[in-house]
Amino acid sequence: MSVLVGRDTRVVVQGFGREGSFHAARMKEYGTQVVAGTRIGKGGTTQDGVPIFESVSQAVAATGANTSIIFVPAPAAADAVLEALASELDLVIAITEGMPVNDMAKVAVALAASTSTLVGPNCPGVISPGRAKVGIMPAENFLEGPIGFVSRSGTLTYEIADLLSGAGLGQSTCVGIGGDPIIGLPTPDAVRLLNEDPETEAIVVVGEIGGSAEERAAEYLRAYGKKPAVAFIAGRSAPPGKRMGHAGAIVSGNQGTAASKVAAFEAAGIPVANAPSEIPDLVRSALRCS
């Protein structure tokens, strides 16, 4: 099986404008079922072979969509997420960047009472190579295989997937969770999904400075890990006390530092790469030792 997305994924694209239609075409080329789009004032029309609706609820009723990908601009993105949650979709992926933290705090309240899974915002999406892509990642970087992959960084998702693929280490599912302060699916929960996936044989965790998600993921793997894992922490060379990169990369005291994250993984017996280029060899070694 795959995690979060697969051959039965049926996608509605919220915000079927320039970006939404461009990436919808790339997803369709990959074989993903893009069954609907939403765009205010365009309901009842068809664009690029995709039926357009005024609302997610209309799209779900007409097409059986079970997944949403959101390209709505930041000021309205929270409303788009809430609309998708209200339609009880299995999965909602928010690509939009720049969503206000206060808006995401309201989304988090609704999400806690929802059965939907939210990935993002400010993320590249999810891909199960050879099965489905719901996101903006370059498909050519990914190869079908047994390595599960979780990343807070979009660009590192592409780079490390390419390194793994070039080394013949294909991926089961890659989840780009996003680097904002408040996100739907944090690192520990994404790791848990891969840990419980029978087709995933090893897990790569790519984190960043800031927050405590990587430390919590390391503790989870230490207690419940069923398969080998390898980690990489971006930002290890960042000057102490300086905010870097994503809005979520905020260090408070000794919490969220690169050193604390590396120490947590090493205490769990998980090797930590010093550079992305080291990851394939570490994965091979971990598989041999498992």
Q: Domain range spanning residue 71?
A: 10-119
In terms of domains, do 241 and 214 share one? yes
**Tokens standing for 192?**
């848990």
Provide the pLDDT confidence category of residue 242 given band limits of 50, 70 and 90: low
What is the SS3 assignment for 48? coil
Q: What's the structural domain count of the chain?
A: 2
Q: Write down which residue in 119, 145, 171 finishes a domain.
A: 119
**Tokens standing for 206?**
């790519």
Per-residue confidence (pLDDT) for residue 1, from 0 to 100: 55
Say if 1 falls within a structural domain: no
Q: Is 246 a catalytic residue?
A: yes
In terms of domains, do 142 and 284 share one? yes
In terms of domains, do 111 and 198 share one? no
Provide the pLDDT confidence category of residue 247 given band limits of 50, 70 and 90: very low
Say if 124 falls within a structural domain: no
In terms of domains, do 105 and 206 share one? no
pLDDT surpasses 60 at 254? no
In terms of domains, do 143 and 280 share one? yes
What is the SS3 assignment for 146? strand
Per-residue confidence (pLDDT) for residue 241, from 0 to 100: 54
Angle, helices 154-166/279-289, rounded to nearest 10 degrees: 60
In terms of domains, do 110 and 156 share one? no
Say if 268 falls within a structural domain: yes
Say if 3 falls within a structural domain: no
In terms of domains, do 158 and 102 share one? no
Contact 51, 84 (CB under 8 A): no
In terms of domains, do 151 and 276 share one? yes
Q: Write down which residue in 59, 89, 119 finishes a domain.
A: 119
In terms of domains, do 245 and 158 share one? yes
pLDDT surpasses 70 at 238? no
Residue where the block lists tokens 């080329």: 29
Pairing of strands 46-47, 10-14: unpaired
User: Which CATH number covers residue 271?
Assistant: 3.40.50.261
In terms of domains, do 154 and 238 share one? yes
Which of these is catalytic: 23, 39, 133, 246?
Answer: 246
pLDDT surpasses 70 at 159? yes
Say if 2 falls within a structural domain: no
Per-residue confidence (pLDDT) for residue 289, from 0 to 100: 82
Average pLDDT of 194-200?
Answer: 97
Provide the pLDDT confidence category of residue 255 given band limits of 50, 70 and 90: low
Pairing of strands 10-14, 33-38: parallel
In terms of domains, do 100 and 141 share one? no
Say if 130 falls within a structural domain: no
User: Which CATH number covers residue 18?
Assistant: 3.40.50.720
Say if 126 falls within a structural domain: no
Name the pTM for this structure.
0.93
**AA identity, residue 51:** P
In terms of domains, do 188 and 85 share one? no
Say if 128 falls within a structural domain: no
